[in-house]
Amino acid sequence: MTNFHNILKWILVGVLLSYRIASADAQININVIGNWNYSLPPNSVVEAGLDLSGTYTSNTNAVTIDVLQSTFFANRFLNYSWRVDVRKSDVDWNPGLILYTRRTGTGSPFWSVLPGAITGGTNYQQLTNTNQIFFSGNRSRLNIPIQYQLSGVSVLLEAKTYVTTVIYTVTEL
């Protein structure tokens, strides 16, 4: 059993998520704060012949997103709508690893007199390398909490750090 635990220490998978800010329209900005790094603890497998649990989840607010109109006195400041798309861009990623994301809250309004709304994105959605609609809303929102889930982790994967970048794009509607 001791040899198995020594071998297991080398079979660790780390996941690093980083973020890039993108804006499709100069009127609205998106700001993403935070990241999720995960390393499997050495005691992930407690008995030889067993696999890892395979699914790991971040905190409910691993990252937060702000969606803000860039010009305070713009013509559409009082009522404008937007959509956030999401995709991943693999840096060094195993195709057996599946990354999901979801929105876990509505954040807060930039200005309480005009709170706006936010919809969609509350169910886990698998990230792909193609943009897909994540959630939408209107008016500026701050601190929208985002959670991640990783599945497909196995002792059969090569022991190394796997990296993907999650890209959020905001579009004015």
Task: Read off the pLDDT of residues 84-101 as tens digits, 9 standing for 90 and up.
Answer: 999 999 999 999 999 999
Tell me: the pLDDT tens digits for 145-155?
999 999 988 77
- Report d(CA 43, CA 11) in Å as an integer: 11
Strands (E), the chain: 13-23, 28-34, 36-39, 55-57, 63-69, 81-92, 98-103, 108-109, 117-119, 125-126, 132-138, 141-151, 160-172
Q: Average pLDDT, stretch 5-29?
A: 43
CB-based contact 144:103 (threshold 8 Å): yes
Residue type, 44: S
Residues 48-72 pLDDT 10s? 556 667 788 999 999 999 998 876 5
